[in-house]
Amino acid sequence: MTPKALRYAAIAAALLLLITLPRWVANPYYINIASQILFWAIFALALNVLVGYGGLVSLGHAGLFAVAGYALALMLAAGYGHLAANVVAVIVALAMSAVFAVLALRATGIGFLMITLALGQILWGIAYRWASLTNGDNGINIRTRPSPFGISLAGADAFYYATLLTFLLAVVSMILFVRSPFGASVRGTRDQPRRMNALGYNVWLIRFLAFLLSGFWSGVAGLLFVYYNQFISPQIAALQTSAEVLLMVISGGTATLLGPIAGAAIVVIMKNVVSAYIERWNLVLGVIFVAIIVFMPEGLVPGSVRLARRGWNAVRARLNPRPLGERP
Amino acid sequence: MTALEVNGLCKAFGGLHVTRNVDLVVAPGERRLIIGPNGAGKTTLFNLITGELAPDSGSILLFGQDITGVPSRRRPHMGVARTYQIITLFSRDTIVRNAVLALLGLSELRWNPLLDLDGRHELIEQARAALARVGLEHIAERPLSQTSYGERRRVEIAMALAQNPKVLLLDEPFAGLSIDERRDVRELLAAIPRDVTIIMIEHNMDVALDLAERITLLHFGEVVVEGTRAEVVADPRTREVYLGE
């Protein structure tokens, strides 16, 4: 098989596995974990637009994730329907992304990181302290999940399929983005902003639009998070969430499609599955991150590809030893 | 009509006056060489012309149009292209992708988030044509990280040429090249048609002199001598600046 055919086969197998998962796994507990992996993966993919392709490391994305969730919860609490609440929540997330971008894009590098961190903390502070709006530490409950086209998402399987569909849409939008001229523009501003400007690109506007794309999918992930838990509290807007999703992106592999997904899977599985067996699961997660940084500084997915290729070459060299003096 | 006209241009960094009241008039199709010792303000002058730096005073006219206040990112769209003295390329990409990015910068396509860039065959053909002009077509698919220094210099020039500029600013295009590579670059610069005006900073007098028609000598940010090649070479002030007599 050619590498291309192999890739298509792998994609088809992965799709088939994802679609048939509820048939293999009867326990709704594991289906719920799969849903969590998928919406955290959407969030990580969203952050990867900035971190991986834009070269802009944000530590404030929990704010965008949470602002969509709070907008949804508040709209529902005020008696609006699910559709209106979702539309408004996405618009709020986009508007907040625009505010973040305008303020943070005055800088790059560590300056950008610090501004996004500060903005995220402001949103966390509002969620925590403005109790008359957000109900403070007690959070907001959501009574029902929506029933789009008459299909109730109350059950684990139905919610999983809705999340999977959203996840696949996010993946498709990322694939389109990465291979598009705009994606090339974003990567160019990461690698050589000065040259991009001299070639006629509007570096600021390119980064701003990339921020909006990132904010959009962060908001969508936040909506799924709130529907999944049917609850939102200030904890989700905290710095720890921003750091966690950033770790997903970096550990999985920045500027790759599979990296953030793998990173999300590792963190969610550690939190939910391993924590049931090992009390100090945080320690295990830390050890895994250290191991990734030491052995695969480029991230789990590109690192595994590199090691697998090296292993394969070593096996091939042993099977077909070359005569001395001949160069490969 | 002049291709480029600079009037009374001044730029200071704190107390350091790097450009002092510079006047420069370049005719369409001219080959202008800018020389001067290290720190004379040559690259700063280029950065002012391309808009990467804003002047403290003075004006810049491109084909009679005042571009002093035009943002630097708009100037390539008006026909100004440059190369960098310190190579500034996209090292994670292939050679041809570098040239494609140069073309994309002037195309509305650069905002498109849906099309497949690798499927824009006309763009890629144009990029290959630009690479062919500098003799790199045969290694177009090679990652930039696997190219030699001399090849990268030529990629710099190819990217500027790909934008089909009216005014081309070359910042030390021969820097760091071997004798053979210098000859190749000299030939490719000589082959650029006359509808492109070239302004070049260069130290390598043996290759640069016979490309230039007029020479401007900068020293401490000021124009010291300007004239034809013979005039500037014969001028005692040139000798003074370079030999410190």
Is the pLDDT assigned to residue A320 strictly greater than 90? no
Domain boundary among B135, B164, B193: B164
* pLDDT on residue B241: 84
B243 pLDDT more than 80: no
For residues B245 and B227, membership in a common domain is answered with: yes
Rounded distance between C-alpha atoms, residue B228 and residue B20, angstroms: 22
Q: Which of A180, A198, A213 sits opposite B114 (nearest CB)?
A: A180
Q: What tokens were used for A131?
A: 């109790």
Asked if B105's CB is within 8 angstroms of A201's CB, the reply is yes
Contacts of B113 in chain A (CB under 8 A): 176-177, 180-183, 213
User: Of B121, B148, B164, which residue is a domain's last?
Assistant: B164
Domain region containing B231: 1-79+165-245
Give the CATH number, domain containing residue B197.
Answer: 3.40.50.300
Same-domain check for residues B186 and B154? no
Confidence (pLDDT) at A322:
63
Residue A321 near chain B (CB below 8 Å): no
ipTM summary value: 0.91
The reply to whether B55 and B171 lie within a common domain is: yes
Tokens 């190819």: give the residue.
Answer: B158
State the DSSP string of A238-249.
SHHHHHHHHHHH
**Chain-chain contact of A182 with B159 (C-beta, under 8 angstroms):** no
pTM, two decimals, is 0.92
On whether residue B84 sits in a domain, the answer given is no
- On whether both B75 and B169 belong to a single domain, the answer is yes
Question: Which one of A177, A191, A198 has the shortest CB-CB distance to B113?
Answer: A177
At B114 the three-state DSSP class reads coil
Return the C-alpha torsion angle A233, A239, A242, A248, nearest 10: -110
Pair B75, B184 in one domain: yes
Confidence of residue A148 (pLDDT cuts 50, 70, 90): confident
Residue by residue, DSSP assigns A44-67 as HHHHHIIIIIS----S-HHHHHHH
Position A4 pLDDT exceeds 90: no
Task: Clarify whether residues B47 and B58 are in a common domain.
Answer: yes
Q: How far apart are CA A219 and CA A323, in angstroms?
A: 59
Antiparallel, parallel or unpaired: β A140-141 and B16-26: unpaired
Within 133-192 of A, beta carbons closer than 8 Å to B belong to 176-177, 179-185, 187-188, 191-192
Q: What pLDDT is attached to residue A315? A: 87
Please say if the pLDDT value at position A1 is more than 70.
no
- pLDDT for the residue B122: 93
Query: In chain B, which residue's Cα lies nearest the Cα of A183?
Result: B113
In this structure, the answer to whether residues B172 and B59 fall within a common structural domain is yes
Tokens representing residue A87 in the block: 């539309």
Per-residue model confidence (pLDDT) at position A286: 87
Question: Does B48 map to a domain?
Answer: yes
Q: Is the domain of B63 the same as that of B98? A: no
Mean pLDDT of all residues in B28-52: 93
Is B131 part of any domain? yes
Residues B93 and B189 in one domain: no
Contact (CB, 8 A) for A142 and A230: yes
What is residue B176's DSSP assignment? T
C-alpha–C-alpha distance, residues B47 and B54, integer Å: 8
Residue B214 lies in a domain: yes
Residue B42 lies in a domain: yes
Same domain as B224, residue B204: yes
Tokens of B160: 């500027």
Query: How far B11 CA sits from the closest chain A CA (Å)?
Result: 20
Q: Do A181 and B110 touch (CB under 8 A)?
A: yes
Q: How many helices (H) and strands (E) does chain B have?
A: 8, 10
C-alpha distance from A199 to closest chain B C-alpha (Å):
5
Enumerate the residues of chain B whose CB falls inside 8 A of the CB of residue A185.
104, 110-111
pLDDT of residue A327: 53
Classify residue B11: in a domain, yes or no: yes
Residue B69 belongs to some domain of the structure = yes
Q: pLDDT grade, residue B30 (50/70/90)?
A: very high
Tell me whether residue B157 is in a domain.
yes
> Which of B164, B181, B213 is the endpoint of a domain?
B164
Look up residue A68 and give its two tokens: 């969509």
A188 interaction partners in chain B (CB closer than 8 Å): 90, 101
Residue corresponding to tokens 């290729």:
A309
Q: Percentage of residues in chain B with pLDDT exceeding 70?
A: 99
Question: Looking at the predicted structure, is the pLDDT value of residue B50 above 60?
Answer: yes
Q: How many structural domains compose chain B?
A: 2
* Average pLDDT of span B65-81: 95
Is B24 within 8 Å of B5 (Cβ atoms)?
Answer: yes
Pairwise CA distance, residues B173 & A28, whole Å = 66
CA of B137 vs chain A CAs: smallest distance (Å): 21
Find out whether A142 and A126 touch, Cβ atoms under 8 Å: no
C-alpha separations of A176 from A66, A105, A172, A257, B50 in Å: 26, 24, 6, 11, 33
d(CA B160, CA B192): 12
Q: Which residues sit opposite A186 in a β-bridge? A: none
pLDDT value for A178: 95
Per-residue pLDDT of A198-251, as tens digits, reads 999 999 999 999 999 999 999 999 999 999 999 999 999 999 999 999 999 999
Handedness of CA A71, A77, A82, A88 (dihedral sign): negative
On chain B, the residues whose CB falls within 8 A of the CB of A197 are 52, 72-73
Q: Which residue, among A49, A175, A176, A185, would best test binding to B if mutated, counting the most B CBs under 10 Å from its CB?
A: A185
What pLDDT score does A325 carry?
Answer: 54
The mean pLDDT value for A92-114 works out to 96
Q: In this structure, what token pair is assigned to residue A245?
A: 């999703």
pLDDT at A285 over 90: no
pLDDT tens digits along A30-75: 999 999 999 999 999 999 999 999 999 999 999 999 999 999 999 9
pLDDT, greater one: B209 or A15: A15
Q: How far apart are CA B176 and CA B204, in angstroms?
A: 10
Closest CB from B84, B105, B113 relative to A182: B113
Compute the average pLDDT of residues B36-64.
94
Q: Does B62 share its domain with B180?
A: yes
What is the average pLDDT across A146-155?
85
Same domain, residue pair B188 and B74: yes
CA distance A189 to chain B (A): 10
Rounded to 5°, the CA angle B191-B196-B200 comes to 80
- At A151 the pLDDT is 84
What's the average model confidence in pLDDT over B52-58? Answer: 95
Q: Write b or e for each residue in B117-152: b if 16 or more Cβ atoms lie within 10 A of its Cβ, otherwise e.
A: beebeebbebbbebbebbebbebbeeebeebeebbb
Q: Which amino acid is at A322?
A: R
Per residue in A250-283, pLDDT (tens digit) is 999 999 999 999 999 999 998 888 888 888 888 8
B143 φ, ψ to 5°? -60, 140
Contacts of B145 in chain A (CB under 8 A): none
For residue B155, what are the β-bridge partners? none
Mean pLDDT for the stretch of residues A281-288: 86
